[in-house]
Chains A and B, each alone.
Chain A
Amino acid sequence: MEDKEILEKFANPDSRNLAFNQLVRKYQQKIYWHIRKMVIDHDDADDLTQEVFIKVWKNLENFRQDAQLYTWLYRIATNECLTFLSSKRKKFFLPINDVAAELTEKIDSSPNIDGDEIQLKLQKALLRLPDKQRLVFNMKYYDELKYEEMSEILGTSVGALKASYHHAVKKIEEFIKRD
């Protein structure tokens, strides 16, 4: 079902549930994986994905259709991730590196992670990056979004995103070479 059709059906109270179900089925994986790469843990990603869709349910009627639906969803998911990571630090008075250490430990111990040594190293290297730079890297490298789309989601200029991605790649390569 096209986004336009989903939105039209959502606007009608009789078909609202059906339309929303279609929306969840269409975007759940993209949103889940976007969140999962940021928070690492499946249970956290599951909670946040559900929260994102509840927020979408509550606000979809106010969604202005001059933006694409999936960039709007990405933006909500991105905000949820950043808020989650930030509150984690505040809650436990953890500095950035300690959160990174906690997430690194999850990479080693989580049952839902399966990768060879170099792939695990890549994930650990990613955790050394600041949250927003990690977001930029994930969106470009894994989700293969265009810089223009990323710019719309993150509210950052295309130039800044290109520079951020370039620096992220350099840092990751340096980390893996050194380690």
Chain B
Amino acid sequence: MKNDFKLSDLPKRNIYEVPDKYFDRLPAQIMERTAGAGYSPAPWYAAAWKPLRLALAPLMLVLVLGVLYLVNLNNKEEQQIANLASIHDKEIVDYLSTYAVLESADFADLSTVSEKEMTSEFLNVSPKAAEEELEYYQLDTIEY
């Protein structure tokens, strides 16, 4: 029989016993001990913990998205600077002369710049060269 033993063939049985009326007496013994044991009242944060846990998940999501947005924004600025650096000066000048809108405030700013502050390189332009420069940009085609 032993060689063919299968646990599933054995009837399930609890072989342990307790003294008479043990389970009738046990609650009273335990209650007697609790009288002197005191209990730990729930700390103030325990009541707040459940709603806080529920709010934690969306809060974390917002936080992660915020961090991702900021990282992305930072990368974007760096990318913009890198892109700008790769553009030839002439292309920038072309672009500005075509699309930039000058306001009277810009001219006002210019008048405040004294000649002393201008570099010699800037001032050392012959009238002819200045005229050619103006021709080059074809001011009459610029839309305001």
Contacts and interface: CB of A to CB of B under 8 A. Distances in A.
Interface string A29-73: 100110011001010001001100110011111101000000000
A101 interface: no
A46 B25 CA distance: 11
B110 interface: no
B57 interface: no
A21 interface: yes
Interface stretch (A86-94, A127-135, A169-177): A169-177
A123 B46 CA distance: 43
A123 B34 contact: no
B30 A54 contact: yes
Contacts of A112: 16-19
B144 interface: no
B95 interface: no
A24 B40 contact: no
Interface residues of A, number: 43
Give the interface centre of B12, B34, B40 by most chain A CB atoms within 10 Å: B34
A155 interface: no
Interface residues of B, number: 33
Contacts of B42: 61-62
B90 interface: no
A160 interface: no
16 contacts: A24-B31, A28-B23, A28-B30, A54-B34, A54-B37, A57-B37, A62-B42, A62-B43, A112-B16, A112-B17, A120-B15, A169-B7, A173-B6, A173-B7, A176-B5, A177-B2
Given A28-B23, A32-B18, A50-B29, 10 more contacts: A53-B34, A57-B34, A58-B40, A59-B39, A59-B40, A60-B39, A62-B43, A112-B19, A119-B10, A120-B15
